[in-house]
Amino acid sequence: MKVAFVGPTVPDAVRLAGNTLTIRPPARQGDVLRAVRDGAAAIGLIDGNFEYVAPVWHKEILFALSEGVAVFGAASMGALRAAECADFGMAGIGEIFRQYVSGEAEDDSDVALLHAPEELGYAPLTIPLVNVRATLRRLLELRSFSVEDAACVEEAVSSLFYKERTWGAIAARARLMTSGDALIGKLRAGYVDQKRADGLELLEALRSHPGERQHVKCQWTFHATSLWKRALDPLPSSTGEPA
């Protein structure tokens, strides 16, 4: 079994995956461990919940790796965790992962956005900073934006709280010589959804995985601490039955 945790980054993941991957909603703490206990041979982490619930725990990723489960990360929460756990064998995929590793991106909120619930197709309500940066790079390449205007827009977006990053708020904060409507038109016309591109790359890597656990000896030791054991014991399987 190959499991991908994905939601707003690739809202049509279920259709794209067909019957080759098991698609589960954005992960929260315990979900990666649950997938391991359910028999996953490979796990792809794209989207994850935070703020109102505990996010994916690094310890459960390390446990998965110690059990021979391949763990891929990209695009959103997956890129963050992959950058943090790369030295332990988690495989990071895509441009956003590269940015976190290189230090070009540092804040967790660079990938965050507000979105509608699963029932409404995870429709985006705000724009993630990483996508704005990718869009500005494209517009610079096309010479549709000056270097000065691009820097102004990026500074404006960076200064906004992630829940406030809408096209209108960006245009108002940027205060360029170009009118707000014209600015939004340029950004929308050249919009690059880097998160989706990276998410699709991860799904392809997961699809190509052989689907068997690879028990390669780690260069590190997983320590089952008392806290880990307390978290492990009561955890139910994804079916709701005792594991």
Within a 10 A sphere around the Cβ of 127, how many other Cβ atoms? 23
More confident call, 160 vs 185: 160
pLDDT of residue 242 exceeding 60? no
pLDDT value for 158: 93
- Pick the range with the lowest mean pLDDT from 45-59, 166-180, 206-220: 166-180
Phi then psi for residue 74, to 5 deg, are -160, 160
| C-alpha to C-alpha distance for 20 and 108, rounded to whole angstroms | 31
- Order of strands across the sheet with 70-74? 22-24, 2-5, 42-45, 70-74, 91-93
pLDDT of residue 5: 98
Confidence bin at 164 (pLDDT 50/70/90) = very high
Per-residue pLDDT at 185:
85
pLDDT at residue 236, as a whole number? 54
pLDDT of residue 240: 36
- Is the pLDDT confidence value at 178 over 60? no
Q: How many residues does the chain have?
A: 243
Helix (H) or strand (E) holding 203: helix 194-208
Domain boundaries, the chain: 2-106+195-232, 118-193
- When the pLDDT of each residue in the chain is averaged and rounded to a whole number, the result is 90
Average pLDDT, stretch 152-174? Answer: 90
44-83, pLDDT tens digit by residue? 999 999 888 889 999 999 999 999 999 999 999 999 999 9
Q: Which bin fits 57, alpha (ψ -120 to 50), beta or left (φ > 0)?
A: beta
Note the pLDDT of residue 243: 28
- CA dihedral 31→36→39→40, nearest 10 degrees, is 80
Cα end-to-end distance, the chain, whole Å: 17
| Model confidence pLDDT, tens digit, residues 111-135 | 999 999 999 999 999 999 999 999 9
pLDDT bucket at 179, cuts 50 / 70 / 90: low
- What pLDDT score was predicted for residue 129? 96
Q: Is the pLDDT of residue 150 over 60?
A: yes
Distance CA 128, CA 9 (A): 10
Provide the 10 A C-beta neighbour count for residue 178.
16
Residue of 139, 243, 227 whose CA lies nearest to 182: 139
HSE value, Cβ hemisphere, 13 Å, CA-based, for 177: 4
| List of residues 6+ apart from 65 with CB closer than 8 A | 71, 85, 88, 89, 90, 218, 222
**Two structure tokens written together for 115:** 């979105």
As a three-state string, the secondary structure of 55-113 is CCCHHHHHHHHHCCCEEEEECCHHHHHHHHHHHHCCEEECHHHHHHHHCCCCCHHHHCC
Section 100-115 average pLDDT: 94
Under 8 Å between Cβ of 196 and 9: yes
C-alpha of 30 from chain center: 17
Contact at 8 Å (CB) between 77 and 29?
no
Handedness of CA 205, 10, 232, 51 (dihedral sign): positive
- pTM equals 0.90
Model confidence at 239, pLDDT cuts 50, 70, 90, reads very low
